[in-house]
Chain A
Amino acid sequence: MTTPDDRRYSGEHEWAFVDGNNVTVGVTRFATDSLGDVVYVDLPESGTEITQFEKFGEIESVKAVSDLLAPIGGTIVEINSEVIDMPEKVNEDPYSVGWLLKVEVADADSQLGKLMDAAAYDNLTAE
């Protein structure tokens, strides 16, 4: 699967996609491949403030657990309840049905500037 070039990426394998006023956040295919079958996603409630590059939740496979680090900071306006009930959605397509959060971001441009584009991210993970 190719890395979508319509969004920005963090070195911690999360993506941020600008969707009107909000930014949608998820994990990359590289992350799900190294994690294996996702069995549980622990996300904060809607309304929670998150900070760029800081932990906002956890994602678990059968025998591993990883921190989720926010690619962008802001206020959570929506969480993907589907992945709470069916974590396998994250494996199915981490870039679409497997999204995690929608975040209201005040200074999107400056924060997005600290992230990579798809080509740079592919370079990073190709190593």
Chain B
Amino acid sequence: MIENSPELSIPALRAGDRHQFALLVDSYSIPIYRLGLKMLGNQQDAEDVLQITFLKALQHLGDFEGRSSLSTWLYRIAANEALMLLRRNSQKSIRQSISLDEESEDADGEALQPVQLADWTALPESDLLSAESKQHLDSAVQNLPARLRVVFIMRDIEGLSIKDTAEALALTETAVKTRLLRARLNLREQLSDYFGERLHQETHDEPRTQP
């Protein structure tokens, strides 16, 4: 969750104060970069999203009316850029179609019924957040359809409220909640597959070599 920096003055920003803009950049660049990284899955595209987001913010600060918070406004620009880049990338490799449309709500045919029922929650956090596990967490997010991924990233990774997520993505709160449930079920399934296997190995593995 982005903290609204107390030193940021919206009137000064709108008036073109460069020091204020630099402060804005430093306050928000990590979460914006992270959004790009989780959406696109690589550092180069994440950096592109970051740069374009702040270039656009600079151009359009004059239009910022303060109806949403500054962070929601920035997230909206960043999410649009990320989805645009995804679309462009997918034209090269027709791996997935990108759609944020409301009507495709049931189009994915994702299984909502939990299949994996291993309770891996007792695995130590050092295992769950090891470098290898994190790679798996990242690729699981990449497996989500983009319209679910963007909602999950904003709400659960960045910690925006349902309301702010809806605002940033121009979706209804109901649509956000629906997508969030699907995204969470999907990821839970993928992680349970992975960690359930780990759990199985830990409890059944015989030592391979005798000391």
A and B together in one complex:
no
* Residues of A in contact with B (beta carbons under 8 Å apart): none
